[in-house]
Amino acid sequence: MFIERQVSLPMQYEEITVDVGYRLDLLVEKKVVIELKSVEFVTNVHHKQLLTYLKLSGYKLGLLVNFNTDNIADNIFRKAYRLDL
């Protein structure tokens, strides 16, 4: 299994490119983006962050994982972006 960590995700706006606009925590097999958190509560902004990463990167699947919990199973969220394409 091929796993990359702290993968830079360039951001482009019109003709301006920022080489390290964002960083993906983990990228598994060049297919699944994993965003790791350790927060008291996962909020909408965390979900939107992962969806933004999926949109900008072109990857379709992601996991949001919060480790600051008693029950990890309740704090793993699967996200998909444009699976129909």
Taking residue 71's Cβ as centre, other Cβ atoms within 10 Å add up to: 6
Predicted pLDDT at 33: 98
Predicted pLDDT at 66: 98
Coil, strand or helix at 54: helix
Predicted pLDDT at 37: 98
- Integer Cα distance of 49 and 20 in angstroms: 15
- Integer Cα distance of 27 and 58 in angstroms: 12
What is the separation of C-alpha 84 from the centre of its chain, rounded to a whole number of angstroms?
19
Comparing 27 with 85, the larger pLDDT belongs to 27
Asked if the model's pLDDT at residue 4 lies above 80, the reply is yes
Taking residue 37's Cβ as centre, other Cβ atoms within 10 Å add up to: 18
Mean pLDDT of 6-29: 87
Q: For the whole model, what pTM was predicted?
A: 0.88
List pLDDT tens digits, range 47-56: 999 999 999 8
